[in-house]
Amino acid sequence: MFTGIIQAQGRIARTETRGGDTRLHIQSAEFDLSETQIGDSIAVNGVCLTVVSLETDGFSADVSRETLSLTTLGSRPMSSPVNLERALTLATPLGGHLVSGHVDGIGTLVEVREEARSLRLQVHAPNELAPYIARKGSVALDGISLTVNEITGSVFSLNIVPHTREKTTIAHYRVGTQVNIEVDLIARYLERLMLSSHACAGENASLSKELLARHGFL
């Protein structure tokens, strides 16, 4: 588990193809690895990866074909900046929100504009993720814990304060940039609970306005 509070940035130093999967080598001069051990979890742009080797200036992790197909890690060129966060402990301040490191889908930046000292982003999410994104709710973008300002259809907006812009890869965002999206954990489990009767019967069902209204949410 993570909090979505980015601790440092790194870069993709190199990649290796191994039996159809990929090994990523991440370098970062500012990421503290002094207490990291082989087998520990680190979120790389919001993707939970397992450390398989440690170097003086970084670490390596294996990425499966499944992860490559569902996240932006497979399309990131060499030297691309990435957000880094170590897994939380019971002593970690929960400054963001609970983030699992399991990416739900890939979104696309449709607007990036200056607004006073902040940055306003608009992100187009996959249609199937839109029901899980709520106004003033939490969402993780490339592993960054953010608050949704507004959502219209499948497009949601975010306000980025100067500190977040400076300390994360958001400074590199442009229109067309693709980002990893993880919706709030509560939304996932709420849907599963509401659909439990269908699931137990082996039926396929999904979250809809009709289902929300039936349970008193609309």
Domains contained in the chain, CATH given: 8-86 (2.40.30.20), 105-185 (2.40.30.20), 186-218 (no CATH)
- pLDDT score of 211: 60
50 forms beta bridges with 41
- pLDDT score of 185: 86
- pLDDT score of 166: 96
Distance, in Å, from the CA atom of 57 to the CA atom of 10, rounded to the nearest integer, reads: 10
pTM for the whole thing? 0.87
Q: What is the b/e burial string over 86-118, where b = at least 16 CB atoms within 10 angstroms of the residue's CB?
A: bebeeeeeeebbbbebebbbbbebeebeeeeee
pLDDT tens series, the chain, 218 aa: 999 999 999 999 999 998 888 999 999 999 999 999 999 999 999 999 999 999 989 999 999 999 999 999 988 989 999 999 999 988 888 889 999 999 999 999 999 999 999 999 999 999 999 989 999 999 999 999 999 999 999 999 999 999 999 999 999 999 999 999 999 988 777 777 777 655 555 545 565 666 666 656 56
β-pairing, 21-27 with 41-44? unpaired
Residues 6+ apart with CB under 8 A from 174: 109, 112
* One-letter amino acid for residue 48 of the chain: C
